[in-house]
């Protein structure tokens, strides 16, 4: 993970880097650091510490002008988050500063073979990079030294590098971790994500793996690892500045929960012409040609994948499997004859998914990415991609991307379905029903105060509701730190019911008539053992004491509604406990390490 921002130009490097890092904090927020050159002297200052970018801002010296710098916000992989392990890292003689996103797999080997005499300050894998570049810079040009170092590194890296002896240049390179250039007449930004460039650049250049960039004021050269110039594409930044601000909301998560009806309407506008679905022909063809779909995803996107499986199998009669990306990458199941691999990822950068994509591509299989970030690695590298149009999702806990993913999966499944529903109308109904739930958020906050009083909690459901329970429980545990499990309601009695004691909160999701009675009898079993039960059900099957009743929609779309109270439950449980809702501990939004 980690976020990188670097700048060389005529503007205030400190402002661009600090603001950029704030926008990249979703990538990690264990520590932050910046190296800046004083415009009036050749002096470089480094400020870095454990903690957030706001803390970095408070310890940074604002008394000098700077037009060259590199900054970093960290999600720790090697070494605890402390001042010494924070980036930038400096080379042994102090000539080079380096910030890094990624993991160097062979750093121990490099230490023991190439850097035997070097004294290391930190526990990081990154420090070897700074030392290696310096070591090679004695024998060759800096560009060659960086490329030589790249050739030795195994693993993933996006790097921004300053040579303190040549402040007219800034260097960058990458392999597997994302990196791009934000370009402008008065300077160039290096960043992990285009969001860092919004407001400063209107165009950007995404960088390919194993490329090296030399920036010289307003111009740049992109080369491959052997130093040959490579062609590149300049793209327009089309992110609206207001979409990446909180506006009237106290948290991004609350804003993003509230945006869900609008997101569904945007998807309808994007993918419908009247009542007809308009999709890239190749996408529909790829699905239709396959004999089995393999959904590969992680976290919330995987939970959306489970709903997708129900949609593909029940609407379109296509067999579908869902795989945990990190397992699939190195332990592939027996495959069908004509598989299609569907990678679902909000960020489009999740390393576990990319490892799987690389594997199946090497075997010649077809792939489709469903993502929120059309410029992402997974979108670029799959055969086809479908954009979910959720708009930037900033809160670490995914909300609107989940509903958007399900809506897209419904549209894909519908394309092959013989079910005659008016999809546009049904999805519009879902958007209105979500608004009805949003109107009840204060009431849900009260329920949270009454019911979520313990350190643990269970969500139970059957069929498609069970998959909603998986997402509901992930949401609750990741931001409120309440230990929560999503359970198939009928499975509790086979062991886990032993954990139920007086006042254990058990939340049931019941949206399917066919399993209504069964789930309710499982609820009785836990109630009689002291559990405090809270029920989310649909109007047509609700009972008088169910606490949260939602509208009836096309049954397979009910997960789009049942998740909304669950998102609010998680939000208010975290708010009640005073936690940092948008940046929960130990997590990062974009998980670019395996
Ligand atoms: O960007 P992706 O959708 O690939 O990310 C996958 C997971 O890391 C992500 O969904 C994670 O589980 C979220 N924190 C859930 O809210």
pLDDT tens digits along 399-416? 999 999 999 999 999 988
**Is the CB of 393 inside a 6 Å radius of any atom of ligand 1?**
no
Tokens 């993991």 appear where?
Answer: 103
- Domain membership of residue 330 (yes or no) is yes
- Domain check: are 475 and 347 in the same one? no
- Judged against a pLDDT cut of 80, whether residue 242 lies above it is answered with no
Overall domain count for the chain: 3
Structure tokens at 274: 């009247």
Distance CA 560, CA 558 (A): 5
CA–centroid distance, residue 559 to ligand 1 (Å): 18
Tokens 């990741």 appear where?
Answer: 478
The 3-state DSSP composition of the chain as helix, strand, coil percent (nearest 5) reads 40, 25, 35
- Judged against a pLDDT cut of 90, whether residue 530 lies above it is answered with yes
Predicted pLDDT at 246 = 85
- Domain check: are 136 and 274 in the same one? no
Tokens 């890296």 appear where?
Answer: 157
Per-residue pLDDT, averaged over 128-136, amounts to 97
Query: Which of 300, 472, 574 most suits a substitution to test ligand 1, by most atoms within 8 Å of the C-beta?
Result: 300
Q: Which atom of ligand 1 is nearest to the CA of 347?
A: 1
Question: In this structure, which residue's CA is closest to atom 12 in ligand 1?
Answer: 299
- Domain membership of residue 592 (yes or no) is no
At residue 487 the predicted structure's pLDDT band, cuts being 50, 70 and 90, is very high
- Judged against a pLDDT cut of 80, whether residue 546 lies above it is answered with yes
Report the SS3 class of residue 406: helix
Whether omega for the bond prior to residue 81 falls within 30 degrees of 0, making it cis, is no
CATH of the domain at 533: 3.40.50.10490
Strand blocks (E) in 43-95: 44-50, 68-74, 89-90
pLDDT in tens, 243-266: 778 888 999 999 999 999 999 999
At residue 311 the predicted structure's pLDDT band, cuts being 50, 70 and 90, is very high
**Is the CB of 398 inside a 6 Å radius of any atom of ligand 1?**
yes
Parallel/antiparallel/unpaired status of strands 272-273 and 235-236: unpaired
Tokens 């849900």 appear where?
Answer: 444
Last residue of a domain, one of 437, 461, 496: 437
- Domain membership of residue 146 (yes or no) is yes
- Domain check: are 65 and 213 in the same one? yes
Pick the more confident residue, 76 or 306: 306
- Judged against a pLDDT cut of 90, whether residue 590 lies above it is answered with no
Distance CA 305, CA 297 (A): 7
- Domain membership of residue 591 (yes or no) is no
Pick the more confident residue, 565 or 217: 565
**Is the CB of 347 inside a 6 Å radius of any atom of ligand 1?**
yes
pLDDT in tens, 320-373: 999 999 999 889 999 999 999 999 999 999 999 999 999 999 999 999 999 999
Tokens 């919330």 appear where?
Answer: 300
Tokens 């002008």 appear where?
Answer: 65
**Is the CB of 535 inside a 6 Å radius of any atom of ligand 1?**
no
Last residue of a domain, one of 394, 410, 437: 437
Q: Across 191-205, 370-384, 536-550, which has the greatest mean pLDDT?
A: 536-550
- Domain check: are 56 and 85 in the same one? yes
Within 8 A by CB and 6+ apart from 350, the residues are: 298, 301, 325, 378, 590, 591, 592
Structure tokens at 355: 């490892």
- Judged against a pLDDT cut of 80, whether residue 240 lies above it is answered with no
Which residues span the domain enclosing 353? 246-437
- Domain check: are 76 and 45 in the same one? yes
Q: Which atom of ligand 1 is nearest to the CA of 396?
A: 14
Predicted pLDDT at 495 = 94
- Domain check: are 394 and 469 in the same one? no
Question: In this structure, which residue's CA is closest to atom 9 in ligand 1?
Answer: 299
- Domain check: are 9 and 80 in the same one? yes
- Judged against a pLDDT cut of 80, whether residue 419 lies above it is answered with no
Predicted pLDDT at 571 = 98
CA–centroid distance, residue 139 to ligand 1 (Å): 44
Last residue of a domain, one of 242, 271, 297: 242
CA–centroid distance, residue 216 to ligand 1 (Å): 37
Distance CA 401, CA 407 (A): 10
CA–centroid distance, residue 395 to ligand 1 (Å): 11
State the catalytic residues: 2, 589
- Domain membership of residue 587 (yes or no) is no
Is-contact 564 257, C-beta < 8 A? yes
- Domain check: are 357 and 499 in the same one? no
- Domain check: are 211 and 302 in the same one? no
Predicted pLDDT at 284 = 85
Question: How many helices and strands, by DSSP H and E, does the chain display?
Answer: 18, 26
- Domain check: are 149 and 270 in the same one? no
CATH of the domain at 213: 3.60.20.10
- Domain membership of residue 594 (yes or no) is no
- Domain check: are 148 and 259 in the same one? no
CA-wise closest residue to 305 among 316, 315, 292, 294: 294
**Is the CB of 350 inside a 6 Å radius of any atom of ligand 1?**
yes
At residue 274 the predicted structure's pLDDT band, cuts being 50, 70 and 90, is confident
Query: Which of 301, 329, 571 most suits a substitution to test ligand 1, by most atoms within 8 Å of the C-beta?
Result: 301
Is-contact 107 128, C-beta < 8 A? yes
- Domain membership of residue 225 (yes or no) is yes
Per-residue pLDDT, averaged over 182-209, amounts to 93
CA-wise closest residue to 535 among 546, 520, 551: 546
- Domain membership of residue 224 (yes or no) is yes
pLDDT in tens, 151-172: 999 999 999 999 999 999 999 9
At residue 217 the predicted structure's pLDDT band, cuts being 50, 70 and 90, is confident
At residue 592 the predicted structure's pLDDT band, cuts being 50, 70 and 90, is confident
- Judged against a pLDDT cut of 90, whether residue 299 lies above it is answered with yes
At residue 77 the predicted structure's pLDDT band, cuts being 50, 70 and 90, is confident
Per-residue pLDDT, averaged over 221-228, amounts to 96
Per-residue pLDDT, averaged over 297-308, amounts to 98
CA–centroid distance, residue 367 to ligand 1 (Å): 20
- Domain check: are 31 and 174 in the same one? yes
Predicted pLDDT at 188 = 97
Q: Which atom of ligand 1 is nearest to the CA of 587?
A: 14
- Judged against a pLDDT cut of 80, whether residue 97 lies above it is answered with yes
Report the SS3 class of residue 369: strand
Distance CA 155, CA 105 (A): 5
- Judged against a pLDDT cut of 80, whether residue 218 lies above it is answered with no
């Amino acid at each position: 993970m980690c976020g990188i921002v670097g700048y060389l130009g005529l503007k205030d490097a400190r402002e661009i880097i600090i603001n950029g890092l704030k926008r990249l904090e979703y990538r990690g927020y264990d520590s932050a650091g910046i190296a800046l050159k004083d415009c009036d002297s050749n002096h470089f200052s480094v400020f870095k510490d454990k903690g957030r970018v706001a803390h970095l801002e408070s310890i940074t010296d604002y008394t000098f002008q700077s037009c060259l710098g590199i900054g970093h916000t960290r999600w720790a992989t090697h070494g605890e988050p402390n001042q010494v392990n924070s980036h930038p890292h400096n080379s042994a003689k102090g000539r080079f500063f380096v910030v890094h996103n990624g993991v160097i797999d062979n750093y121990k080997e490099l230490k023991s073979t190439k850097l035997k005499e070097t004294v290391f300050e930190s526990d990081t894998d990154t420090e070897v990079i700074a030392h290696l570049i310096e070591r090679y810079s004695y024998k060759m040009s800096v560009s060659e030294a960086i490329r030589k170092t790249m050739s030795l590194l195994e693993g993933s890296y996006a790097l921004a590098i300053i040579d303190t002896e040549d402040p007219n240049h800034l260097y960058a390179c990458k392999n597997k971790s994302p990196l791009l250039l934000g370009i402008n007449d008065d300077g160039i930004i290096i960043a992990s994500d285009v969001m860092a460039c919004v407001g400063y650049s209107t165009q950007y250049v995404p960088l390919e793996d194993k490329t090296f960039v030399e920036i010289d004021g307003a111009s740049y050269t992109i080369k491959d690892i052997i130093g040959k110039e490579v062609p590149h594409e300049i793209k327009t930044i089309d992110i609206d500045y207001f979409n990446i601000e909180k506006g009237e909301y106290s948290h991004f998560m609350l804003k993003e929960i509230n945006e869900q009806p609008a997101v569904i309407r945007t998807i309808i506008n994007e993918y419908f012409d009247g009542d007809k679905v308009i999709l890239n022909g190749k996408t529909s063809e790829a699905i239709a040609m396959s004999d089995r779909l393999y959904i590969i995803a992680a976290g919330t996107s995987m939970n959306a994948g489970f709903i997708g499986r129900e949609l593909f199998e029940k609407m379109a009669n296509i067999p579908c499997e869902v795989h945990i990306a990190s397992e699939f990458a190195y332990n592939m199941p027996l495959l069908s004859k004509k598989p299609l691999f569907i990678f679902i990822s909000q960020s489009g950068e999740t390393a576990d998914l990319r490892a799987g994509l690389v594997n199946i591509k090497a075997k010649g299989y077809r792939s489709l990415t469903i993502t929120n970030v059309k410029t992402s690695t997974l979108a670029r590298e799959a055969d086809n991609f479908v954009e979910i149009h959720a708009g930037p999702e900033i809160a670490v806990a995914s909300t609107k991307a989940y509903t958007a993913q399900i809506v897209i999966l419904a549209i894909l499944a519908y394309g092959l379905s013989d079910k005659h529903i008016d999809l546009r109308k049904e999805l519009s109904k879902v958007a209105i029903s979500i608004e009805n739930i949003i109107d009840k958020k204060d009431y849900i906050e009260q329920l949270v105060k009454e019911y979520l009083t313990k350190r643990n909690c269970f969500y139970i459901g059957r069929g498609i509701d069970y998959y909603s329970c998986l997402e509901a429980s992930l949401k609750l545990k990741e931001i409120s730190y309440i230990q929560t499990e999503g359970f198939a309601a009928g499975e509790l009695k086979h062991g886990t019911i032993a954990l139920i004691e007086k006042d254990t909160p058990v939340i049931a999701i019941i949206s399917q008539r066919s399993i209504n009675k069964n789930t309710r009898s499982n609820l009785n079993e836990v109630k009689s053992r002291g559990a405090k039960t809270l029920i989310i059900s649909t109007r047509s099957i609700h009972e008088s004491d169910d606490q949260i009743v939602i509208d009836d929609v096309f049954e397979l779309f009910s997960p789009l509604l049942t998740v909304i109270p669950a998102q609010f439950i998680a939000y208010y449980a975290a708010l009640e406990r005073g936690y940092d809702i948008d940046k929960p501990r130990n997590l990062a939004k974009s998980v670019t390490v395996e």
